């Protein structure tokens, strides 16, 4: 049985070659790369040495095989990753603007990824963590309903919920009000919340990360891990608050870095690590994820992550 269950979209990502090329003009793309926020998270958990199951759907096509082969090669349990015979695998097209921001076009909710299977209760009865992403909630009503049911089942069965609100404006028609409404049923049950600074402000109305984290703790979260990008991270519990600086790397592709960071936090909690060590592990996973082209390509194995941390600490 898995220690961690991740549920949501599995898709491939196809990206512009170089920055500053709009999606609406003729130009070159690179890929396909295995992707999907919860799938990236699951792959990083497996590479860090923990048992993780992924619940999702792909098409019976070449893109689906890319995803299944990658996850299985890294040890992710894929029994509940269903290959749908009459739907194609989800796709995300992405371009980076020159200021570093991103633009997505998603083919997800109406693709195989939208045919999300129900999370087996036998997984949740034995697992310690269920991981949910905001991108999944925004993709389709079917995906949202599956996630909400899984959260309630996890709560009933004693499985903690981790929630990464990863805001994707391209998936939202109603703006921030819709975002908050979509997140609410998961936030109400989440023991761990993993927002970026923008998402934290959207959810709490607080521009200061410390104040926003405290609001989520007051709502019942046991730990809030705020991703602050070039400013590192902020980890807050009811007893302790800790800021950790980032590990400097040459950024090649930051997509997926937040998912790898989240995996580092969950694995650190599984291992009972002190808060500072959890932050170092998560920061290292996030930093390394940004050093490779492709959203899942930067997920590193445990030995590589630990070697990177030792190298960085020796330089300080």
* Given the residues 153, 164, 253, 259, the one annotated as active site: 259
CB 9 within 8 A of CB 37: yes
Residues 6+ apart with CB under 8 A from 205: none
Residue 4's beta-bridge partner residues?
52, 129
CB 189 within 8 A of CB 159: no
Kindly list the strands in the beta sheet with 223-227, ordered across the sheet, starting from the edge strand earlier in the chain.
Answer: 81-84, 52-59, 4-7, 129-133, 160-164, 192-193, 223-227, 233-236, 241-244
Q: Which of 285, 281, 225, 301 is nearest to 249 (CA)?
A: 285
d(CA 11, CA 32): 9
Q: Which of 243, 244, 245, 254 is nearest to 288 (CA)?
A: 254
For residue 69, indicate whether it is catalytic: no
Phi and psi dihedrals of 66, rounded to 5?
-60, -45
Assigned token pair, 92: 């995300």
For residue 283, the 8-state DSSP code is H
Largest CA distance in the chain: 54
10 Å Cβ neighbour count for 308?
Answer: 18
Q: Which of 94, 105, 128, 116 is nearest to 39 (CA)?
A: 116
Q: Catalytic amino acids?
A: 259
């Amino acid at each position: 049985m898995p220690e961690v269950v991740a549920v949501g979209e599995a898709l491939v990502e196809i990206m512009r070659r170089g920055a500053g090329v709009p999606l609406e003009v003729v130009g070159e793309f690179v890929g396909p790369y295995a992707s999907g926020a919860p799938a990236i998270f699951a792959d990083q958990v497996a590479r860090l040495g923990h048992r993780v199951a992924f619940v999702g759907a792909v098409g019976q096509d070449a893109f689906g095989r890319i995803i299944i082969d990658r996850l299985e090669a890294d040890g992710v349990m894929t029994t509940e990753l269903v290959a749908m015979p009459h739907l194609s695998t989800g796709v995300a097209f992405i371009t980076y603007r020159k200021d570093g921001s991103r633009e997505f076009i998603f083919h997800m909710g109406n693709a195989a990824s939208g045919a999300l299977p129900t999370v087996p209760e036998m997984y949740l009865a034995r697992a310690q963590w269920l991981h949910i992403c905001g991108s999944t909630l925004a993709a389709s009503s079917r995906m949202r309903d599956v996630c909400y049911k899984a959260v309630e089942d996890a709560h009933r069965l004693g499985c903690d919920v981790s929630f990464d609100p990863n805001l994707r404006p391209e998936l939202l028609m109603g703006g921030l009000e819709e975002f908050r409404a979509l997140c609410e049923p998961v936030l109400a049950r989440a023991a761990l919340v993993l927002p970026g600074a923008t998402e934290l402000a959207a959810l709490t109305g607080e521009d200061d990360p410390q104040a926003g984290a405290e609001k989520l703790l007051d709502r019942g979260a046991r730990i809030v891990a705020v991703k602050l990008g070039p400013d590192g991270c902020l980890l807050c519990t009811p007893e302790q608050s800790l800021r950790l600086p980032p590990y400097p790397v040459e950024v090649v592709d930051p997509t997926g870095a937040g998912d790898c960071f989240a995996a580092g936090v969950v694995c650190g909690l599984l291992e009972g690590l002190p808060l500072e060590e959890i932050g170092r592990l998560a920061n290292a996973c996030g930093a390394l994820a940004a050093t490779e082209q492709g959203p899942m390509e930067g997920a590193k194995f445990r030995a590589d992550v630990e070697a990177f941390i030792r190298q960085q600490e020796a330089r300080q």
